[in-house]
Structure 1
């Protein structure tokens, strides 16, 4: 039976540190795997419901609304029951939804299915980040960046294998296979998950979002860090193809360059943060993001744009993990409550900003958009001192 901690970061065995870190890393991988597997299913989902591009956009908006509505609810439950219980329940409910979105045949069923898929994905996201914060406290070292690297790795596996599997065995068999693998990985992770309990003061907190500005300001760091990520994910290929005359084969390299750099740096990010501290690391990463987006936006050719996107990936890689870690270590606030605010604001950037960017780009250009988006990093730099709360994970 797994040991428990009381939220104060009590001393535990070094071997247990390895198990709990492996457990939470597997949770991140499972969530990323599910999200990666969803990407190649989108065309089949749209075809099954006869959705136009505009209607598919509405459905993706419902996905985002599900995430933003269930994230705060998950945060409140974490404050009551602890992250380990909530993450296991959220994961068990989330995994079957990949099958649900495959079986839908009506518009209403599709709306409900994608709302639950997005909502439970967000709930699991908040809970696994809260559990990672608790593991950081117990280990007295940073692990958040590597956890997010495992999410990126899971997303890469899910996306890279999804199209091939769907073509070979069909959409339903693919969904069942993904759900089965995810359940097996969850079963492996379950005995290794750090079992945490809230402080008594956290149990007494009323079920409402915090009025103190600190979590909202840290959430702004996450928001302005994730908007560029969404801009590159959804518009990078179009930018290379339409404005820099890249071939179809090369147009997908924008996000590839960005994501490979981001994943690699996330595995190294914890070591950098432990050496330099969260504030200095955030400032260096923000500067790299700023430079990379400027280079990409002003690039005269594809090669220089890809270099810019790679530099931006190096920078953005550790900005979000630091913001999440800081949100889970706000003094006097339950980790789940702080994280629900930070994650909700952060993910709103990647979920909704791309649609706004499309509207702006229609009247200007994507080159101008990437150049303008780089300025958001100046806001992050202005708020970077708040990243000091992320260092509480190693100080408690």
Structure 2
């Protein structure tokens, strides 16, 4: 046990042991809250620097690019300091970057800040997932689905807070500065409570690593899963608006329906994994997701389509927790490589869907995402590392 635990007096060890249980849940919720806060203020940030739709997609692309090139940074930090210190360093840097995004006065500076958001966010993500898979190994208990569910809840809270701040006409810079201080204190508290060894991890020295062998299928699942999630996040509301003429109030509910079902499913995912196994759940879930998306495409109106997106959220919900858990069980290098491949999917997904929508229409674009779910089911059924 590391020094922070050792320095606690004996009589309080029971309460400290209880507090340790909250460290990882708190870290995942914080991560969701930070990313949800950023996503919720994208329209206000775009308006502030007078950015067009096409330029905004370039700004968002910088975030995905940062995530993809983060592999050498996360590998170096994990190799030098271990998961616990890496999550503290990258988490504090992420909060600093969030404030910088709020204050960016021009489009080039916003692009630079969003690039750093991609780097720091994915490094933090790899570190907390590595810490969580270590805990799973120590305890023999599956908990990654529940933790990813808390990340979802944090994301919803962050986005809701963002829309509240926007309605109160509070500028993103002020909003992010109000968040950064309290969240930095919570991050430090979670870091102090986290009970995992501080030893450095042996990670290969490469600028970018593609998973090989059986790991390649996990990487492909991560790639297809993040491509699907990113596309639904960015385009489901546009689909409701363009195809059904949904109002500005109704259109964002597609993402809400998707996210809420994803959250609810992840909260019980670990228990389901014990009973049915990860491979079966991800395979069947992908088929459920495909049926939900095809249902949305063929719906007679926007309200029925919302149910389709909710079904898709239920179907895709367990892919990420189980893929990250399986990759983390193979060590931090495997986890970082699979995460890099997954992030490249989130980078490529939305622009590809945009191109499909441009040439063939919005209905075909959402149908294409449904097709991706069928490919996920096929790959998952052959992935031996999913247990």
State the TM-score, normalizing by the size of structure 1. 0.87
Residues 14 and 276 of structure 1, relative CA distance in 2, 3 Å threshold: farther
* Residue 134 of structure 1: how far off its partner (Å): 0.7
Residues 325 and 339 of structure 1, relative CA distance in 2, 3 Å threshold: same
* Residue 16 of structure 1: how far off its partner (Å): 8.2
1:196 equivalent to 2:194? Answer: no
Q: Partners in 2 of 1:252 and 1:210 — Cα distance?
A: 35
The 5 A counterparts of 1:118-137 are 118-137=118-137
Q: Partners in 2 of 1:67 and 1:2 — Cα distance?
A: 30
* Residue 377 of structure 1: how far off its partner (Å): 2.6
Q: Indicate which of 348, 371, 377 corresponds to 1:381.
A: 377
1:271 equivalent to 2:271? Answer: yes
* 1:171 aligned residue: 172
* Residue 106 of structure 1: how far off its partner (Å): 3.5
Which runs of 5 or more residues in structure 2 are unaligned? 5-12
1:345 equivalent to 2:341? Answer: yes
* Residue 76 of structure 1: how far off its partner (Å): 4.4
Q: Which moved more, 1:145-154 or 1:164-173?
A: 164-173
The 5 A counterparts of 1:1-396 are 2=2, 19-166=19-166, 167-197=168-198, 203=202, 206-208=204-206, 209=209, 212-330=212-330, 335-385=331-381, 388-391=384-387
Alpha carbons 1:82, 1:198 under 8 Å: kept: yes
Alpha carbons 1:76, 1:337 under 8 Å: kept: no
* 2:10 aligned residue: none
State the TM-score, normalizing by the size of structure 2. 0.89
Q: How many residues align?
A: 377
Q: Partners in 1 of 2:102 and 2:248 — Cα distance?
A: 29
Which runs of 5 or more residues in structure 1 are unaligned? 5-12, 392-396
Alpha carbons 1:218, 1:386 under 8 Å: kept: no
Give CA deviations for 1:92-118 in whole Å, capped at 9, x if unaligned: 111111111122223443232221122
Alpha carbons 2:72, 2:205 under 8 Å: kept: no
Residues 94 and 271 of structure 1, relative CA distance in 2, 3 Å threshold: same
* Residue 284 of structure 1: how far off its partner (Å): 2.2
The DSSP-based 3-state class of the residue aligned with 1:389 is: coil
Q: Partners in 2 of 1:148 and 1:316 — Cα distance?
A: 12
Alpha carbons 1:296, 1:306 under 8 Å: kept: yes
* Residue 144 of structure 1: how far off its partner (Å): 0.8
Q: Partners in 1 of 2:371 and 2:199 — Cα distance?
A: 39
Alpha carbons 2:217, 2:383 under 8 Å: kept: no
Residues 381 and 192 of structure 1, relative CA distance in 2, 3 Å threshold: same
Give RMSD over aligned pairs: 2.6
Q: Partners in 1 of 2:107 and 2:271 — Cα distance?
A: 48
Alpha carbons 1:145, 1:318 under 8 Å: kept: yes
Q: Partners in 1 of 2:189 and 2:288 — Cα distance?
A: 37
